[in-house]
Amino acid sequence: MTRAERKLDHIKHALSTGQSRATWLDDIRFVHQAIPNSSWDSVSLQTQVGELVFGSPFFINAMTGGGGAKTTELNGQLARISREMNIPMAVGSQMAAIKNPEEIETFTTVRKENPDGIIFANLGSEATVDQAKRAVDMLEANALQIHLNVIQELTMPEGDRDFIGALTRIEQLVNTLEVPVIVKETGFGISREAALKLSEINVAAIDIGGFGGTNFATIENERRHRKLNYFNDWGIPTAASLIEALSVKTSVPILASGGIQHALDIVKCLSIGASAVGLAGVFLKKLINDGEDETIEEIRRINEDITMLMVSLGANTVEELRHSPMILTGELHHYLTMRGIDTHTYANRK
């Protein structure tokens, strides 16, 4: 199977396997504010990650590219959506285009369709400095995502089996590239130990990519003759991973992704402390099932719902959301307690 065919396989299986809703975000409940002292017109959805300013506190996370005409079409549509709604967009791994120039157009269409927007380039942790520079130049990218996908690679029949030196390679990119380097997981979560290592090499941001959304172990198992089913439930659920990463108390911005499905999920992640939130599967499904215009309308509705929720919590800015008291229950509470993280601080915010 060619790399391009595998990319199309991923899209097909991502849509068919869906999202498990195992993020543990449902274990979070806000404390109602009967006197919020806020209004619709006082709310600002703007957020900032390093020097990058987002019009809304969420972005279109990495999905595709490198799969021929179909992925050219999808990336072009996503880029127009990102332009229309003034939200950043990341592309899928560009290694396909670096190894096969015929696939370059599947990525460059993004900058053609959104010439002034915030675009994230994307490569795996195996990337060299030269490959990273080529990926950034290909898109005139504002930042580079380096994705971590050990479990996907191990489950993938033709995947990598050697992950030695990844942190050193990422540090070289951080120290060499002229754009920010964001490190992201791809659905299995970032622990506090991993977040500490990444903060120590001064990455620009960490996207925790938690468990509970599109499951690349399940997707790759669909492509295997002998299933590695023990990886299907592997990983740190999104809510737990986000709190783990934030517990490091680093100045590095933490981004939340992994099974985010609607405005309430976004607001919960922002309230926990995420600087911004990435969505992928929910937008891909909406785009393929209902088209570009309906996806734009869905994003408008998400913005409206975030505003509504912020008013109800008395938060006029994303920063103020981080003072909202919330109760952590169920498996999330148990997991964090076992990891030595005090959940009472979230319940008693002022």
Interval 93-127: pLDDT, tens = 999 999 999 999 999 999 999 999 999 999 999 99
| pLDDT beyond 90 at 171 | yes
pLDDT of 3 reads: 53
Task: Give backbone dihedrals phi and psi of 115, rounded to 5 degrees, phi first.
Answer: -65, -25
Percent of the residues in the chain that have a pLDDT greater than 70, as a whole number: 94
| pLDDT beyond 50 at 13 | no
Neighbouring residues of 338: CB distance < 8 A, sequence distance ≥ 6: none
Q: Which helix (H) or strand (E) holds 146?
A: strand 143-148
Q: Supply the DSSP symbol for 145.
A: E
Domain contains 329: no
* Per-residue pLDDT tens digits for 48-78: 999 999 999 999 999 888 788 999 999 999 9
Domain contains 112: yes
| pLDDT beyond 70 at 209 | yes
Domain contains 300: no
Q: What is the rounded end-to-end Cα distance, in angstroms, of the chain?
A: 56
pLDDT of 158 reads: 86
Residue positions counted in the chain: 350
Angle at 62 between CA 252 and CA 258, to 5 degrees: 65
Domain contains 345: no
pLDDT of 266 reads: 98
Q: Is 19 helix (H, G, I), strand (E, B) or coil?
A: strand
Amino acid at residue number 43: V
Domain contains 34: no
Residue 124 lies in domain: 3-27+56-294
Amino acid at residue number 203: V
| pLDDT beyond 90 at 34 | yes
* Per-residue pLDDT tens digits for 140-162: 999 999 999 999 999 998 888 98
| pLDDT beyond 70 at 4 | no
Angle at 157 between CA 154 and CA 161, to 5 degrees: 35
Neighbouring residues of 305: CB distance < 8 A, sequence distance ≥ 6: 262, 263, 264
| pLDDT beyond 70 at 16 | no
* Beta-bridge mates of residue 144: 121, 181
Q: Is 347 helix (H, G, I), strand (E, B) or coil?
A: helix
CB distance 277 to 269 below 8 Å: yes
Domain contains 339: no
Domain contains 147: yes
Q: Which helix (H) or strand (E) holds 30?
A: strand 28-30
Q: In 3D, which of 124, 126, 121 has the Cα closest to residue 140?
A: 121
Confidence grade of residue 9 (pLDDT, cut at 50, 70, 90): low
Which CATH number does the domain housing residue 286 bear?
Answer: 3.20.20.70
Confidence grade of residue 2 (pLDDT, cut at 50, 70, 90): low
Dist CA 78 CA 63 (whole Å): 10
Domain contains 344: no
| pLDDT beyond 90 at 343 | yes
* Tally of domains within the chain: 1
Q: Helical H runs in the chain?
A: 3-17, 69-85, 95-99, 105-113, 129-139, 150-155, 166-176, 192-200, 216-222, 238-246, 263-272, 281-290, 292-313, 318-321, 330-338, 344-347
Dist CA 206 CA 275 (whole Å): 10
Dist CA 328 CA 244 (whole Å): 14
Tell me how crowded residue 51 is: count the other CB atoms within 10 A of its CB: 9
* Per-residue pLDDT tens digits for 283-326: 999 999 999 999 999 999 999 999 999 999 999 999 999 999 99
Give the mean pLDDT of the chain.
93
pLDDT of 21 reads: 87
